[in-house]
Amino acid sequence: MDTIHKDKYLKSPPNLPDYSKAVEGFHYDKHISELVWFSPRHINAAYNAITKNALSDRKNKVALYYVDENESVNKYTFLDLELSSNKLGNFLKAIGCNRGDRVFIFLPRVPELYISFIGILKIGAIAGTMFSAFGPQAIFDRLSQSEAKFLITNSEMATRLKSIRNKLPNLKRILLIDKGLMTEIDKYSDVLNTTETDMTDDAFMLYTSGTTGKPKGIVHQHKAIIHEYLTAKWVLDIKDSDIYWCTADPGWVTGIAYEILGSWACGSSTVVFPGRFSADGWYRIIEKLKVTVWYTAPTAIRMLASQGLTKVKKYDLSSLRFLASVGEPLNPEPIRWGLKAFNLPFHDNYWQTETGGIVIANYAALPIKPGSMGKPFPGIKPHIIAESGDEVGVNKVGNLTLEPNWPSLMKKVWRRPKKYQSYFLYSKDLKKKLYITGDLAYKDRDGYYWFVGRADDVIKTAGERVGPFEVESALVAHEAVVEAGVIGKPDPMRGEIIKAFVVLKPTFKQSDKLKEELSMFVKKNLAGHAYPREIEFVDHLPKTRSGKIMRRILKAKELGLPIGDTSTLEEY
Ligand code: WT7
């Protein structure tokens, strides 16, 4: 597909009119005055997202258009969010929440989630988020490893804690938003002195999966907001006048960086819709609220595309002016469809839970090469590295690494310093320390980056990152299972689906019913999105001599590809 030239699609001058110029003279210091600092080292991210606006002309502006499951719209101004998060902060302090304590939020996308997140950061505690689809095992892993002191949830979801509650000695209280929490916080003052956190103080954390072991707690610091704000402004092109809709859940870092922190720091109105996916529902929201900037994911775009152009054309979506996508590769096909459906190109951008914000992107002012992730954000310096640590040339595939020099790069992995260290390498060739993304990519002659695949076994299903180990562990917990090997299998709609190869105990019979039972077992215990959609029973799994399951071989066999180096494989 040919390069898309942007002039045709620009409806207003972009916030970043000249990419090359921005790259040339870039330094974060030039932009720090766009945020509110208490002193040269002290900044609070929540203050910059909400308080700053509540103290300005934007005070009575709608910050949150909350579209509930029935599609009725509730409005919250910046002042509303300011006062309710102050009350929540005062309440938390009163019940013994101190600076640095972990407060986890386990809620669907309801206004209380946003209010809680802001309130927690304001008092200098650390907010942790979790997907509402998580089951007992996933919840337990997160709350126990982080030693969370408080959990904010609702009574329906709290039932999933029953079997794990007494194994969480650090969890002081479970706060239920539908059982009096909001009336209780009403008794507290709406005046709060925001904690003047150091820019490197921990602000929020989320757990994400790697290839091995349990999910790791990625911790971000308050100064992450500098990068999140600037990327919201320059990549998502968010302006004060925008009605901005990000379809992500704050259980995922996108819903934090670009639904709470970076985007509100730009002062725009944000739309949140927690309902199930439906093409008509989504188009109705855009039409009704006159959404201007829309940030979504490739799977969602493919799902919309599968419902056809006739459906889109029934709605007046002319308010849209800028579209962006993240989470998995955006192939040219959905871009082509987007051009037909919305008369606008989707701008792909690339980042990770660990990078805390967008690092490679397509911009409003630059031509798009469909299928490419775009160019590095000003100040970000990627290097494509061979296994040796040497930089490889143009058009050569290698490990995508980044110079660790931007404010939203994770600060640490919660209580796992070795894990944190394993993210970095020292390149003798470049004489530089580099952050390893775990992705394979190449750079073309024009400086555009192209995603090739993961360098590890991590699965991306509908944009969600799933560690095969977690799914394997969940399967093995079932009485019928001896062992399991889990891979991502390419899927035209979801990018990948989870496929499990399962060895059964001799006393259990292979059947479709048992496959279904195993899928549901994982769905219930681990997470609603992290269960195998496909199960194959096998007699044994390929393993290394040291006993590690070789998922690479399972995948190669599944795809009919050459199996590659098997020198470490045990007799098979
Ligand atoms: C992984 C990160 C995406 C931000 C939220 C957190 C894959 C992400 C792209 C893209 C191809 C992408 C990578 C990356 N990924 N964006 N534009 N093109 N792949 O994301 O859950 O931490 O996952 O998602 O593999 O490492 P995450």
Do 158 and 72 reside in the same domain of the chain? yes
Do 209 and 291 reside in the same domain of the chain? yes
Query: For the chain, first and last CA: distance in Å?
Result: 44
Residues of the chain with pLDDT under 70: 565-572
Do 243 and 106 reside in the same domain of the chain? yes
Do 301 and 345 reside in the same domain of the chain? yes
Helices and strands of the chain, counted as H and E runs: 19, 26
Do 446 and 474 reside in the same domain of the chain? no
Do 73 and 138 reside in the same domain of the chain? yes
Tell me the one-letter amino acid at 107.
Answer: L
Residue bearing the CA closest to ligand 1, atom 24: 327
Of the candidates 324, 357, 320, the one whose C-alpha atom is nearest the C-alpha of residue 342 is 320
SS (H, E, C) 228-272: HHHHHHHCCCCCCCCEEEECCCCCCHHHHHHHHHHHHHCCCEEEE
Determine contact, residues 471/502, Cβ cutoff 8 Å. no
Residue 73, domain member (yes or no): yes
Domain that holds residue 387: 380-404+411-453
Residue 525, domain member (yes or no): yes
Tell me the one-letter amino acid at 237.
Answer: D
Instruction: Give the other-Cβ count within 10 Å of 295's Cβ.
Output: 25
Q: How close is the Cα of 368 to the center of ligand 1, in Å?
A: 19
| pLDDT tens per residue, range 75-102 | 999 999 999 999 999 999 999 999 999 9
Q: How close is the Cα of 195 to the center of ligand 1, in Å?
A: 32
Helix/strand/coil for 541: coil
Query: To test the ligand 1 pocket, which listed residue (261, 439, 470) has its Cβ within 8 A of the most ligand atoms?
Result: 439
Query: Which of 330, 350, 370 is the last residue in one of the domains?
Result: 350
Give pLDDT, residue 569: 64
Give pLDDT, residue 213: 82
Q: Ligand 1 pocket by C-beta < 6 Å: which residues? A: 208, 252-254, 326-329, 348-353, 373, 437-439, 451, 454, 460, 465
Q: How many domains does the chain have?
A: 3
Query: To test the ligand 1 pocket, which listed residue (208, 220, 326, 372) has its Cβ within 8 A of the most ligand atoms?
Result: 326
Residue 384, domain member (yes or no): yes
Q: How close is the Cα of 386 to the center of ligand 1, in Å?
A: 21
Q: How close is the Cα of 546 to the center of ligand 1, in Å?
A: 31
Query: Can you give the length of the chain in residues?
Result: 572
**CATH code (residue 397):** 2.30.38.10
Do 101 and 54 reside in the same domain of the chain? yes
Query: To test the ligand 1 pocket, which listed residue (335, 350, 448, 466) has its Cβ within 8 A of the most ligand atoms?
Result: 350
Do 481 and 468 reside in the same domain of the chain? yes
Q: How close is the Cα of 205 to the center of ligand 1, in Å?
A: 17
Do 442 and 465 reside in the same domain of the chain? no
Give pLDDT, residue 572: 47
Q: How close is the Cα of 351 to the center of ligand 1, in Å?
A: 5
Distance CA 409, CA 40 (A): 20
